[in-house]
């Protein structure tokens, strides 16, 4: 119950923060862009939405506990009979609920745009943003955990490199065609390491389609959800351990 109280209050605070308005503004821009792009809307808008949600997950992850430490509210929360782990899990759940609302907003706008343009859209396209949420949970947990051990910008970079676009040499070359060989080696090496420490993202992006062929979308989604939840819990435990070692 206490975890749910933290989650509920985190959602309330986030919904009143400037991130909410920034998110709403971006959704509006996206909607405008999809109308303008006509037939190209599905892939463009979905990729854009995916990127925005990914960046939001990273930002929420690195600032979730840090902001409360900076303004002292983490300390005052801990003057209640609640453990640090419960607070961290509750905050993560609240942030996930917030991301879910934003993703639902994206989905609703994409459906609206499709209906307006008369474009063909499948149910799978419509829920695309929502079924990325387990991965966002994993990325958010990774960013939150790393931010307890390293400066926030480092945590942000690590979480960013968990993006599947950095996983293969081809995708890095595609994103940065003029990268020097040394920079390429560093980026590729770090990205591989990050994907090793953040398996839910790599598993999801690289294997989702294969899994769905074998087991169907529903089973794969459930499997990934449980996988991401376990991963997030492990990150929460590590973050709580790191914070417990410090004077809050």
Partner 1 sequence: MSDAVIQLRGVSKRFATRRAETLALDDVSFEVQRGDVFGLLGANGAGKTTAMRCILGLTHISGGSLQVLGRERPSRHELFARTAYLPEEPQLFIGATGREHLAYFGRLSALDGARLQTRLDETLRLVELNDAADRRIGTYSKGMKQRLGIAAAILAEPEIIFLDEPTRGLDPVGSKRVRDLLANLAAGGATLFINSHLLGEVERLCNRVGILDKGRVRAAGKLADLLGENSLLAVRFALPGEPGQELAGAERADGGLWKTTVPDTAALAALSEKIAAAGGRVVSAQAERIALEDYFIRAIGREEQA
User: Are 148 and 242 within 8 A, CB to CB?
Assistant: yes
Stretch of residues binding partner 1 (CB under 8 A), selected from 11-19, 25-33, 111-119, 148-156: 11-19
Q: How many residues bind partner 1 (CB under 8 A)?
A: 23
CA 25, 164, 222, 136 torsion: positive or negative?
A: negative
Cα 216 from Cα 38, distance rounded (Å): 31
Cβ at position 79, least distance to partner 1 in Å = 4
The answer to the question of residue 116 lying near partner 1 (CB under 8 A) is: no
Stretch of residues binding partner 1 (CB under 8 A), selected from 28-36, 57-65, 72-80, 170-178: 72-80
Instruction: State which of residues 25, 29, 36, 75 lies at the interface with partner 1 (CB under 8 A).
Output: 75
Cβ at position 36, least distance to partner 1 in Å = 35
Q: What does the H/E/C string look like for 18-87?
A: HHHHHHHHHHHHHHHHHHHHHHHHHHHHHHHHHHHHHHHHHHHHHHHHHHHHHCCHHHHHCCCCCCHHHH
The answer to the question of residue 242 lying near partner 1 (CB under 8 A) is: no
The answer to the question of residue 44 lying near partner 1 (CB under 8 A) is: no
Stretch of residues binding partner 1 (CB under 8 A), selected from 47-55, 69-77, 140-148, 196-204: 69-77
User: Are 42 and 53 within 8 A, CB to CB?
Assistant: no
Kindly list the residues in this chain that would bind partner 1 in the complex (CB under 8 A): 1-2, 5-6, 9, 12-13, 16-17, 71-73, 75-83, 247-248
């Amino acid at each position: 119950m206490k975890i749910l109280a933290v989650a509920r209050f985190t959602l309330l605070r986030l919904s009143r923060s400037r991130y909410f308005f920034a998110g709403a503004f971006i959704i509006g821009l996206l909607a405008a862009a999809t109308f303008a792009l006509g037939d190209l809307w599905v892939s463009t808008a979905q990729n854009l939405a995916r990127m925005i949600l990914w960046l939001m997950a990273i930002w929420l992850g690195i600032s979730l506990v840090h902001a409360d430490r900076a303004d002292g509210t983490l300390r005052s929360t801990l003057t209640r009979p609640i453990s640090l782990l419960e607070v961290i899990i509750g905050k993560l759940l609240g942030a996930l609920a917030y991301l879910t609302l934003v993703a639902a907003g994206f989905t609703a706008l994409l459906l609206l745009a499709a209906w307006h343009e008369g474009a063909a859209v499948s149910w799978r396209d419509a829920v695309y943003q929502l079924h990325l949420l387990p991965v966002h949970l994993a990325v958010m947990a990774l960013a939150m955990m790393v931010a307890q051990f390293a400066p926030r910008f480092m945590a942000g970079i690590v979480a960013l490199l968990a993006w599947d676009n950095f996983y293969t040499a081809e995708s890095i070359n595609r994103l940065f065609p003029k990268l020097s060989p040394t920079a390429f080696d560093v980026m590729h090496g770090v990205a591989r390491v990050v994907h090793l420490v953040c398996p839910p993202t790599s598993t999801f992006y690289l294997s989702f389609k294969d899994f769905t062929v074998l087991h169907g979308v529903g089973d794969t989604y459930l499997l990934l959800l449980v996988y991401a939840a376990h991963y997030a819990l492990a990150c929460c435990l590590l973050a709580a351990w790191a914070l417990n070692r410090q004077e809050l």
